[in-house]
Amino acid sequence: MTHISRRKIILGGVAATAGVAGLGVAARIAERYGLIPPDHGGIYGPGETLNYAFQRLVARRSSAREFPRSWISERPFPNEIAPPSEAFKRLQVGGFADWRLSIDGMVDRPTAFSLNQLRSYPRRSQITEVACEEGWSYIAEWIGVPLFEVLNTVRVRPQARYVVYFSIEPDWWDSLDMAEAMHPQTFLTYAMNGNNLPVGHGGPLRMRVPRQLGYKSVKFITHLTVTDTLKRFGKGFGSGAPEAGYAWYAGI
Amino acid sequence: MSRLGSCVRPPDASNTGSLSVEIAAGRAFRHSALVRVTHWIITLCFLALLLTGIEILISHPRFYWGETGNNLTKPLFQIAIPSSRKLVPTGYGYVLPDQNGWSRALHFQAAWVAVLTGLLYAIFGLLSGHFWNDLVPDKTHLSWAAFSNAIVSHLYFKRPSEAETWSYNVLQRLAYLMVIFVLFPLVIWTGLAMSPTFTAAFPWTVILLGGRQSARTIHLFVSIALVLFLLVHIVMIFLAGFWSRSRAMLTGRAGTPMERT
């Protein structure tokens, strides 16, 4: 056996102290640069934090891959959704003429947009892939208005850190950090492959977040709130997904 | 004697008298401390990754080639198991419970630990000479006679020689090199190629593989290859002497020659 020398003990002590101090400093820096996800607690918190911090560091400004028109899937799969609520059905009967997207929170001009008002923005499109966490995927052309254009209209205040978005269907909501919300590919989508967005794919209005897995692209959006903290929403994890064990950050 | 360095050389390859004494007394080291610690951390991670990988697979047991694939398109093949999602056409009349939430979280956390541990091992392996001395076949291995000899003794399930307590045989070396330098890098690469943000930053990682669904299918096959390696590895441990080999990977010591017989 080796005998443990005094030098080794001292070196070990210095290394341990430096390690703890280093972790503390790293946590401070990570918090300051927005590298800590809202669901950083619990036994899987370290993994979630590493996923989020690593991808924010290497891909903050990268764009999701876009594909040629010939790659658009002939049969896009509309995932299972719960039967529509009464509120949804009433609006559907009226051809969604009364559908509103209300934006409030840390903005100078809280506004409720009709679908026609959203359509009056320059029409943008992207041919991107929907990738579900289960493993399947399809490519479609998504048409709508980039979220940042709408956010610029309502004037987001500088202290804002997250955009929380809600479906008309109960308990279906999620949130994005400002980097993702202001990303040019993050769309409020009202059409797909040249037609109105089908209900099965989230019509009349769906959040489209192509740099993250499908479940961040919440369907039937009626409400956005801009905020500096997610603590007041649900259990404070940033979306309903972490409450079911799924990661808030779905870039992986 | 270096304990952080590579395997102890077999007695006949060494001219130091003290080493033979250490071996005879059962104090010689078969595996260095770093190899043992990283071996068990990666073993635990691999088991967690395997279990959670199977759970994630159950939510969509269909596999495709190319960029896209879903329930409405023709799969390359489908694994004949029930699914944890209602809309997957499995032919089974029931749906399994959804385990993807914690499975994905544990999958990625175990992957982080495995990758960081693997990096530490790789740096150590390069600097200490572990790769070069213990894993790369040396001159004595690289003749057809030696190679066919090793294959024949494996085919007859012969117990390994005393020298193999201190050095890996040629098939072992090739298998370990394959796992460390081909299968592990490939399983990490194909895993990352399924991340929408990672492929936004590094699109060639998925383009080179032929698309997102190809990456997923290759990820499955590499995982199966790793499981086959694990099964053969365990069988070999039993053939070589379960207690002696397990103890060597836990404590580093292979025991006295007496204990090994």
Q: Are B7 and B225 spatial neighbours (Cβ–Cβ below 8 Å)? A: no
Answer yes or no: is B185 within a domain: yes
B216 to chain A, any CB pair closer than 8 A? The answer is yes
| pLDDT reported for residue B2 | 39
Q: What is the mean pLDDT of residues B213-228?
A: 98
Give the distance from CA A242 to its chain's centroid. 13
Domain extents in chain A: 66-244
Show Cβ contacts of residue A98 under 8 Å, excluding neighbours closer than 6 positions.
A91, A114
Q: Are B68 and B61 spatial neighbours (Cβ–Cβ below 8 Å)? A: no
Q: Is residue A180 over pLDDT 80?
A: yes
Answer yes or no: is B248 within a domain: yes
Scan for tokens 């590919």, then name that residue. Answer: A185
Answer yes or no: is B15 within a domain: yes
Answer yes or no: is B1 within a domain: no
Tokens of A237: 């994890």
CATH entry 3.10.450.50 includes domain A66-244:
no
Q: Which of B63, B67, B68, B79 to mutate to test the interface with A (most CBs of A within 10 A)?
A: B68
Q: What is the mean pLDDT of residues B103-128?
A: 96
Tokens of B82: 């029930």
| pLDDT reported for residue B19 | 60
Q: Which of B49, B60, B70 to mutate to test the interface with A (most CBs of A within 10 A)?
A: B70
| pLDDT reported for residue B14 | 45
Tokens of B222: 């590499």
| H or E element that contains A225 | strand A221-227
Burial A41-80 (b: 16+ CB within 10 A, else e): eeebeebbbbbbbbbbeebeebbbbbbeeeebbeebbbbe
Q: Is residue A50 over pLDDT 90?
A: yes
CATH number at residue B170: 1.20.950.20
| pLDDT reported for residue B65 | 98
B138 vs chain A: nearest CA distance in angstroms? 31
Answer yes or no: is B6 within a domain: no
Enumerate the residues of chain A whose CB falls inside 8 A of the CB of residue B70.
Answer: 73, 75-77, 132, 136-138
How many domains, chain B?
A: 1
| CA distance readout (Å), A94 to A85, A98, A115, A221 | 15, 7, 13, 17
B260 pLDDT band, cuts 50/70/90, is low
| pLDDT reported for residue B247 | 87
B237: domain range?
A: 11-260
| CA distance readout (Å), A105 to A148, A170, A181, A248, B94 | 15, 20, 15, 21, 44
Which residue stretches of B59-164 are H helix? Answer: 100-128, 130, 144-155
| pLDDT reported for residue A32 | 79
Answer yes or no: is B256 within a domain: yes
